Amino acid sequence: MNETTGTASAVIAMTPAEEKAADKARLLTSLVNVCGVPHAHWKTHPIALALKHDGVTQFNVDFIHMTAVDIDGLQCEKGGVLVPLELNFKMVL
């Protein structure tokens, strides 16, 4: 006789606020694990600052839809002046 054992899986729906928080966490995870942004300095790293300045705050909503033109146009603030993101950081993105 062929029997299967296990638990029934339940679908857990996230609230919009929970989904937004999870999407922000995905962005942070990708910045740290893929782009090499040090976790201790993710709020002050040029990549994070440029993305924030451009309004990129969520992974699925903003980040994955960025094109090469979007990345090329990123700017961050240095000494109170907006400057283009350095080429080496653009290449990482």
Domain positions in the chain are: 38-92
Mean pLDDT to the nearest integer, 51-68: 94
**pLDDT tens digits, one per residue of 19-38:** 999 999 999 999 999 999 99
Q: How far is CA 28 from CA 2, 22, 41, 44, 75, in A?
A: 45, 10, 11, 13, 19
Q: What is the pTM of this model?
A: 0.81
Give all strands (DSSP E) within 1-93, no chain letters. Answer: 75-78, 81-84
